[in-house]
Amino acid sequence: MLYERVISLFARLEHYPICCGLLGSWLIAELICVAIMPSVLDNNWYLSHYQSETSRQSLERFFTTQSNSIPDPHCGWRNAPDRDLGRWRTDASGARQPSFHRKGPGKAGVLFLGSSMTNGGMGVSNDETISAYLEQQSGLPAYNHGTMLHALDQSLLLYEKALVHMDVKYVVVGLDPNTHLRLTNIYIPFSRREEVHLPFLKPRFVLREKDQLECISLPVKQLREHTFSAETWRILEKHDSFYARFQRYKHLGFSPIGHSINRLQRRLRNLQRRLFPAIRNELLYALLQRFRSAARQRGAKLIFLVYPAQSDFGQHALSFVAPDAYGLRLEALETIGLHTINCRRALADCLRPGSRFHADGNHFTRESNRVIAAHLVKAIQQFSSAGAEFPSEKKNCRSTAAVPAAP
């Protein structure tokens, strides 16, 4: 019966020769792309196709210091010093300072570390960042060393190794919504292939026995050749948790059906991550503890700004079924005794939904930066013993105090 049905199916196929040619050729091509090519071609061949032309141009500019980032032996990359793009400027140390910045006497400053959310990004001017508003509202000198796409481990290395001479009273670290994911990433394009402007290598920490942290760092200069050595591939395979994405690209990225399957799988994994967020992360906690120790050794107080994503405001379709990942994350941080600022509550209380994030959906508007700065000032006041330490006090988001006008 089944045999007859198969025969009749094949008999009907003779009326569809074009379809047969199309499907047959397609299946053969899919097989070649999925199974044969990965076993014949090496990783570097796939890497050359994985990287876009824009990525290669970004790397070229990175190594010829034409980019907004420069190579750094400790944390992979840093802000380029003395860059002036109009709204986005850096000083000689690579910090993004407001026009009214003045260095304070002795140990009086606030150091900002983190990613572009701390840095402010291209959407706000130097006078509209969190650090600028803090300086304006409190009078404390602020040093914005937020760096594009930096993860927590890079901020830690920047603080420990590159800014070792910076003597400040407060260290403010921005924690991005997906910071825990990036801690296990080494080659940025593996986790964010669309990130064509910063396709760099970053160091990562590995948690060993007795909570010891070991830093794994790959030589940055091999990015210039656009190929990796066998040793680098071995390290990436072992220590970059996003290496599996590159493997999937090798097998599924060269054929339409494979690509569609890969995309579907990725969406399902994102959905799973949204519905079942990983809250407990030992590596993250170990890094946070190390940060706290490092700040304590230098006599500085550590404050974490816990940044929300747009979806954390409960406006997403999944918000009815997904757990409150932001709340769980914040709670976990507070239980280990860290000083945190609930940026989500601050923004939700003070701003309408449409005015919190830029059109890119990731970076804060200047209004959001102002609100966060106001809450940070309050937190800093709690640390200080006397309120007279600050030239001016800001109450809350409803204050009518002037903010620097946008240039």
Partner 1 sequence: MNFVSLAFILFFLAVFVIYWQLSRPRQNLFLLFASYVFYGWWDWRFLSLILTSTAIDFYSGRRMDRSENPSTRRFWLSLSIGANLLILGYFKYSGFFISNLVMGLNHLGCSLRSNELNIILPVGISFYTFQSMSYSIDIYRRELKPCRSFLDFATFVAFFPQLVAGPIVRAKEFLFQLESKRSFQSSRFEAGMWSFILGLFKKAFIADLLAIHIVDPVFAEPALYSSAAMWLALFSYSIQIYCDFSGYSQMAIGCAAMLGFSLPENFRFPYLATSFSGFWRCWHMTMSRFFRDYVFIPLGGSRQGTARTYSNLLLTALISGLWHGANWTFVLWGWIHGLGNVWGSFRRCADPGVPNRPGWWRWLTGWFVTQLVVLLAWVVFRATDITHAGVMYHRLFILQSGSDLVVTGAVVWAIPAFLVEHACGAFVARRPYTLSPFSRVLLGACCAAMIFVVFHTRPETLTPFIYFQF
Here the tokens at position 228 are: 């990796």
- Closest to 140 (Cα-Cα) out of 106, 109, 118, 99: 109
Nearer to partner 1, 12 or 102 (CB): 12
Binding site for partner 1 (CB under 8 A): 14-26, 29, 254-256, 259-260
CB of 256 to partner 1, least distance (A): 5
Identity of the residue, 254 or 285, whose beta carbon is nearer to partner 1 in the bound complex = 254
Cβ proximity to partner 1: between 19 and 216 the closer is: 19
Q: Rounded distance, CA 72 to CA 78, Å?
A: 6
Helix (H, G, I), strand (E, B) or coil at 395: coil
CB 356 within 8 A of CB 347: yes
Nearest distance from C-beta of residue 25 to partner 1, angstroms:
4
Q: Report the distance separating Cα 120 and Cα 87, nearest Å.
A: 11
Nearer to partner 1, 250 or 375 (CB): 250
Backbone angles phi, psi at 353, to 5 degrees: -55, -40
Measured from the CB atom, the residue of 24 and 323 that comes closer to partner 1 is 24
CB atoms within 10 A of CB 216: 13
285 touches 292 (CB < 8 A): no
Amino acid at 168: V
Q: What's the distance, Cα to Cα, between the start and end of the chain in Å? A: 79
Question: Nearest approach, Cβ of 225 to partner 1 (angstroms)?
Answer: 20
Nearest CA among 205, 351, 185 for reference residue 287: 205
| Min separation Cβ 17 and partner 1, Å | 4
**Least distance (Å) from partner 1 to the CB of residue 52?**
8
> Which tokens sit at 74?
């400790």
Q: With respect to partner 1, which residue has the nearer C-beta, 14 or 209?
A: 14
Spatial contact of 120 and 129, defined as CB atoms under 8 Å apart? yes
89/259 with CB nearer partner 1? 259
Least distance between partner 1 and beta carbon 40 (Å): 18
Q: At its nearest, how many Å lie between partner 1 and the CB of residue 21?
A: 2
99 is written with which tokens? 């026009």
